[in-house]
Chain A
Amino acid sequence: MSKMQINITVNGKKQELLAEPRELLIHVLRERLGVTGPHVGCDTSHCGACTVDMDGKSVKACTVFAAQANGADITTIEGLGGPDGLHVLQQMFKEHHGLQCGFCTPGMITRAYRLLQEIPNPSEEEVRFGMAGNLCRCTGYQNIVKAILAAAAELNAAKEAAQ
């Protein structure tokens, strides 16, 4: 199968590679680039374990062709924390026991990262709706919601303090 030239930026690093037309973004990330934070949970875009941020939108990398990501700027869970530590969402997931087995967590946090930019001060209902594309079988969601709300509060407080 003829391969295509793909240029993408992953977590701030430019990557060039040849990909088959049928190759999915999640496989490029995981198998070619060794970025194994995003996981494959279902292959049908229903579970969100593969969620990454692509040009400012949450996408499910299991249903994005690598070719569609050509030229895109991709952020995965590995790229969320700054050089000096964890993103506040990562901290709040730890603090509020928003994870158990951890398998859905990278997608969950990456989706929440975008959600809090879409709705900086969400209600609980907006969080539950905004996270509806991400499945978790362990936590029952209560502590995930709590962690996201706590992160939103902290981010907003920091924003206010900066103003």
Chain B
Amino acid sequence: MRESRDRIYPLDNRTASHMFANLMAHACICFRVGMTDQGNEIKMNVAPPRFGSKSLVGSPLRRKEDDAFVRGAGCYTGDIAKENMLHAVVVRSPMASGSFVIDSLDEALAASGVKLILTAEDVAHMSDLPAMGMRKGPDGIKAPYRNIPVLCRDKVRYVGDAIAFVVAETVEQARDAAELLEISFEGAEAVIDTGEALADGAPPVWPDADSNRAYVNTLGDADATAEAFKNAHHVTVIDFVQNRLVSNYMETRAAIGDWDGERNRYTLTVGSQGVHGTRDIVSRILGDDAELRVITPDVGGGFGPKGFVYREYPLVLEAAKRLGRPVRWVGDRTEHFLTDAHGRDNVVHAEMAMDGEGRFLGLRIDLTAAMGAYTHQFGVAIPWFGVTMSTGVYDIPALDFTLTGVFTHTCPVDAYRGAGRPEAAFLIETLVDACARDMQLAPDEIRRRNFIRPDQMPYRTPGGRLYDVGEFAGHMDRAMENADWAGFPARLETSKARGRVRGIGMASYIEACAFAGSEPAFVALQDDGTVTVDIGTQSNGQGHATAYAQFVAETIGLDINAVEVIQGDTDRIAKGGGTGGSRSIPLGGVSAYRAGEALATKIRKIASEELEASPDDIELSGGQAVVAGTDKAISLADIAKAATDPADLKAEAEFKQDEATYPNGTHICEVEIDPATGIAEVVRYTIVDDFGMTVNPMLLAGQVHGGVVQGIGQALLEQTVYDETGQLLTASFMDYALPRAGDVPNFSFETRNVPSITNALGIKGAGEAGTIGAAPAAMNAVTDALYRAYGVTHINMPATPAAVWEAIRRARE
């Protein structure tokens, strides 16, 4: 039985607006406010707001983008049909390892409707897909990249590796023809398990290397850590597998290539997470002198893996150029499972040294991270993000981290929602619970003893990160209150009476967002008095069109519907960094706000000349510039007409951040397990997050809900399974369990914001946090239930009914 309560967003809650106003008014931030989606204001100390109750920033405004989506009028890449368009399919490797020879294309080329078949020879002029982010090993040397060829030349290294690209009049004809390629394969032994990649005699993914070791990176102080362990009262050890996940955005990838010979120019239409990065990388792969325009229409979810460049992007362009017609490729769900970058997949050994009171003295971690068969775009760097966050919210003096990347004959691994940070949070938060069990301390008590205290901020972690602010005990206490932690024993008894076992678990996570960088925003007043915002981030569903409009509308006194946000076209937007790492609002939001302010100043100046008043007396509201205290006014449309220099109607801003921001919070999960079936049901779930500042509480809650369900999915349901020969057994929704509506409860979500002082508006970022907190909270709850009832101290993710049932059976033996 599910016990969580449903909650309603307040239309009248202005808490966050007040906070935003204060941020604007005072550089020094010495107050804290939060809001719940129940509408309860939890703690406020707010001076009179600069923007008053009219403030758009901080309000749960409904989304500008939704009208089209609810009508079915969204436009995703696969919805676009161009005149004279051809269709392409990819011929993929049926085996995980081996060599091949294409014996004949004749029959396929002769098949009905077939226009072109590309193989490795045809794309020999192209570069391999470039990977980046390799760090020096302890020997001071960077290990080599093993980049993905656009099409395999003679070797295949995982099931789904691309061999040929077939283009025909219809997709059915292309599929039929793909069956007619004559290819001789010679299979070889494959290594699949991450934990076995370095075993003696493991089949090599790259035979010219001496092992499947992709690289080794170390971090911390091994000597100091050894000393800490020598002096330890107790050492707690955990070993676990961080399961491999498939992102499963609902829109599979698709791409359309166009070629304009007269202008020597390609156009790629693709669902990306940023057009500029896509353009730069695809151009590099194409390696010719033609221009490339990239357009991204609506995107049906991204979560990281849609941000990368995949083989089909240069291939649709090459085919379009050769054939002089648009070429569209739309991946199917099985291709998504086989070849879109996977996420996570670590094998972990971790040890914590403690004193007699459960104070952490030192942390030693040995982590093996799967790369898959190649170095994927950012794949080698992703585990490193986790390494640097490995001490979490705790004051741990010594860290000794060894990270080993390994190749296996599997789909390449790269960023998936959180990208290294969920792995780090899971590691430390489940280790801390294990420490608590060993020391016979309550999970909150061991956390309390080890949290970095607010008075230690700013705090440099052993991982090298600089936390600016954070009140970890504050949100833990609040979450325990909201979750009625104290009432758990009574609920446990109720469950027992029904023959169920019950557990409660928490995770106090911290993560890094908005990595050092910038994101320019360009605003312009249009002839009709509306304002456009051009920005190079890319909404994949987050609601950028609304959030950025809130910032800009605020500065110019407009309704958000009078502000149009434009993304996804390299012709239109000069530059941009794309969306990823929860960076769009912390970086782009500040830039949009500042660009809006700069435009407002210009508008005031023109208005002051037209109305013969001082610019300081001009107020912008309701689409007009008004001389304060008078009825003298001019519309923004008339201001646009009055401008003598077009530059007076444009402004831009680019906020740069040198350090990441650090969202943090506490998730508390309660599960009930039926020992007869092994089904673990999430019955209560409570979140208290510190996102620094809330731009739109409705969008924020949406990000958190969705993220939490992805985390619960990892903990309880999702598992990517290859058999020992490298065939992907979970290659459709029949075999890979994505959370459904009945698998998850409603969530109690509240913010307890402590504004960032790294970010100009106090914003920390919120796109990934839900996922990061959820998996450890859920697994700590499952383990707690199994430990209380059966003394089980460990179960790997996902805690499926079969796995839970088996753990109970073993414990009972």
Residues of A within 8 A of B (CB): 20, 22, 30-31, 34-44, 46-47, 49, 76-78, 81, 86, 90-91, 93-97, 99-106, 109, 124-125, 127-129, 131-132, 134-146
Q: In the complex where A47-B250, A139-B706, A142-B747 touch, is A129 in contact with B72 (Cβ < 8 A)?
A: no
- Can you list 15 residue pairs at the A/B interface with Cβ under 8 Å? A39-B300, A41-B250, A78-B71, A94-B70, A102-B65, A103-B251, A104-B300, A128-B742, A135-B740, A136-B741, A140-B705, A140-B708, A141-B741, A141-B744, A143-B701
B732 at the interface (CB under 8 A from A): yes
B609 at the interface (CB under 8 A from A): no
User: Across the interface, do B706 and A38 meet the contact criterion of CB distance under 8 Å?
Assistant: no
Q: In the complex where A39-B251, A135-B738 touch, is A90 in contact with B70 (Cβ < 8 A)?
A: yes
Q: Which of A40, A42, A94 is within 8 Å of B67, CB to CB?
A: A94
Q: How many A-B residue pairs have CB under 8 A?
A: 188
Determine the residue in chain A with the shortest Cβ distance to B711: A140
Residues in B with CB closer than 8 Å to A90 are 70-71
Q: Which of B67, B81, B301 has the most CB of A within 10 A?
A: B301
Q: In the complex where A37-B71, A40-B78, A95-B62 touch, is A100 in contact with B742 (Cβ < 8 A)?
A: no
User: Across the interface, do B301 and A103 meet the contact criterion of CB distance under 8 Å?
Assistant: yes
Complexed CA–CA distance, A142 and B72 (Å): 21
Complexed CA–CA distance, A65 and B74 (Å): 25
User: Across the interface, do B62 and A101 meet the contact criterion of CB distance under 8 Å?
Assistant: no
Determine the residue in chain B with the shortest Cβ distance to A41: B250
* Shortest beta-carbon distance from B125 to chain A in Å: 33
Q: Which of B71, B702, B746 is within 8 Å of A81, CB to CB?
A: B71
Residues in B with CB closer than 8 Å to A41 are 250-252, 333
Q: Which of A22, A36, A44, A141 is within 8 Å of B72, CB to CB?
A: A36
* Shortest beta-carbon distance from B654 to chain A in Å: 27
Complexed CA–CA distance, A142 and B9 (Å): 12
User: Across the interface, do B66 and A93 meet the contact criterion of CB distance under 8 Å?
Assistant: yes
Complexed CA–CA distance, A47 and B333 (Å): 10
Complexed CA–CA distance, A93 and B333 (Å): 26
Residues in B with CB closer than 8 Å to A47 are 250, 333, 733
Q: Which of A20, A35, A37 has the most CB of B within 10 A?
A: A37
Determine the residue in chain A with the shortest Cβ distance to B87: A31
User: Across the interface, do B706 and A102 meet the contact criterion of CB distance under 8 Å?
Assistant: no
Complexed CA–CA distance, A138 and B65 (Å): 15
User: Across the interface, do B250 and A104 meet the contact criterion of CB distance under 8 Å?
Assistant: yes
Complexed CA–CA distance, A46 and B334 (Å): 12
Residues in B with CB closer than 8 Å to A131 are 740-741
Determine the residue in chain A with the shortest Cβ distance to B66: A94
User: Across the interface, do A132 and B742 meet the contact criterion of CB distance under 8 Å?
Assistant: yes
Q: In the complex where A46-B732, A102-B300, A141-B709 touch, is A135 in contact with B250 (Cβ < 8 A)?
A: yes
User: Across the interface, do A142 and B705 meet the contact criterion of CB distance under 8 Å?
Assistant: yes
Q: Which of A95, A109, A144 is within 8 Å of B741, CB to CB?
A: A144
Q: Which of A39, A91, A96, A103 has the most CB of B within 10 A?
A: A103
Q: In the complex where A39-B300, A44-B733, A128-B741 touch, is A76 in contact with B250 (Cβ < 8 A)?
A: no
Residues in A with CB closer than 8 Å to B298 are 101-103
Residues in A with CB closer than 8 Å to B65 are 102
Q: Which of B9, B79, B249, B252 is within 8 Å of A101, CB to CB?
A: B249
B361 at the interface (CB under 8 A from A): no
Complexed CA–CA distance, A83 and B116 (Å): 46
Complexed CA–CA distance, A46 and B732 (Å): 9
Residues in B with CB closer than 8 Å to A104 are 250, 300
Residues in B with CB closer than 8 Å to A77 are 70-72
User: Across the interface, do A137 and B733 meet the contact criterion of CB distance under 8 Å?
Assistant: no
Judged by DSSP, the binding face of A is loop
Interface residues of B in 730-778 (CB under 8 A from A): 732-734, 738-742, 744, 746-747, 770
Judged by DSSP, the binding face of B is loop
Q: Which of B70, B72, B248, B299 is within 8 Å of A76, CB to CB?
A: B72
Determine the residue in chain B with the shortest Cβ distance to A130: B741
Interface residues of B in 281-322 (CB under 8 A from A): 298-301, 303
Determine the residue in chain B with the shortest Cβ distance to A103: B300
User: Across the interface, do A93 and B70 meet the contact criterion of CB distance under 8 Å?
Assistant: yes
Stretch at the interface among B131-139, B386-394, B537-545: B537-545
- B39-69: CB near A (< 8 Å → 1, else 0) gives 0000000000000000000000011011111
* Shortest beta-carbon distance from A99 to chain B in Å: 6
Residues in B with CB closer than 8 Å to A31 are 81
Residues in A with CB closer than 8 Å to B70 are 77, 86, 90-91, 93-94, 99, 102, 105, 109
Complexed CA–CA distance, A22 and B749 (Å): 48
B332 at the interface (CB under 8 A from A): yes
Determine the residue in chain A with the shortest Cβ distance to B299: A101
User: Across the interface, do A138 and B301 meet the contact criterion of CB distance under 8 Å?
Assistant: yes
User: Across the interface, do B76 and A103 meet the contact criterion of CB distance under 8 Å?
Assistant: yes
Residues in B with CB closer than 8 Å to A20 are 172
The 6 closest A-B pairs by CB, nearest first: A37-B72, A101-B541, A103-B300, A102-B69, A140-B705, A77-B72
Having A41-B251, A139-B706, A141-B705, one finds 11 other A-B pairs with CB under 8 Å, namely: A22-B172, A30-B79, A94-B67, A99-B69, A100-B301, A100-B702, A101-B541, A102-B70, A105-B74, A137-B249, A137-B250
- B1-15: CB near A (< 8 Å → 1, else 0) gives 010001011000000
Determine the residue in chain A with the shortest Cβ distance to B710: A137
User: Across the interface, do A129 and B738 meet the contact criterion of CB distance under 8 Å?
Assistant: no
* Shortest beta-carbon distance from A73 to chain B in Å: 18
Q: In the complex where A39-B300, A138-B541 touch, is A145 in contact with B741 (Cβ < 8 A)?
A: yes
User: Across the interface, do B71 and A43 meet the contact criterion of CB distance under 8 Å?
Assistant: no
Q: In the complex where A42-B732, A137-B303 touch, is A143 in contact with B702 (Cβ < 8 A)?
A: yes
Determine the residue in chain A with the shortest Cβ distance to B11: A95
Q: In the complex where A100-B702, A140-B706 touch, is A44 in contact with B738 (Cβ < 8 A)?
A: no
User: Across the interface, do B300 and A97 meet the contact criterion of CB distance under 8 Å?
Assistant: no
Complexed CA–CA distance, A44 and B2 (Å): 30
Residues in A with CB closer than 8 Å to B252 are 40-41
User: Across the interface, do A102 and B74 meet the contact criterion of CB distance under 8 Å?
Assistant: yes
Residues in B with CB closer than 8 Å to A99 are 66, 69-70, 541
B636 at the interface (CB under 8 A from A): no
User: Across the interface, do A46 and B734 meet the contact criterion of CB distance under 8 Å?
Assistant: yes
Complexed CA–CA distance, A140 and B685 (Å): 13
User: Across the interface, do A97 and B78 meet the contact criterion of CB distance under 8 Å?
Assistant: no
Interface residues of B in 673-706 (CB under 8 A from A): 698-699, 701-702, 704-706
Determine the residue in chain A with the shortest Cβ distance to B770: A140
Determine the residue in chain A with the shortest Cβ distance to B708: A140
Q: Which of B81, B298, B746 has the most CB of A within 10 A?
A: B746
* Shortest beta-carbon distance from B285 to chain A in Å: 27
Residues in B with CB closer than 8 Å to A34 are 81
- B516-534: CB near A (< 8 Å → 1, else 0) gives 0000000000000000000
User: Across the interface, do A101 and B702 meet the contact criterion of CB distance under 8 Å?
Assistant: no
Determine the residue in chain A with the shortest Cβ distance to B79: A36
User: Across the interface, do B742 and A101 meet the contact criterion of CB distance under 8 Å?
Assistant: no
B73 at the interface (CB under 8 A from A): yes
* Shortest beta-carbon distance from A112 to chain B in Å: 11
Residues in B with CB closer than 8 Å to A81 are 71
Residues in B with CB closer than 8 Å to A127 are 741
Residues in B with CB closer than 8 Å to A96 are 9
Q: Which of A30, A99, A145 has the most CB of B within 10 A?
A: A99
User: Across the interface, do A37 and B73 meet the contact criterion of CB distance under 8 Å?
Assistant: yes
- B165-187: CB near A (< 8 Å → 1, else 0) gives 00000001000000000000000
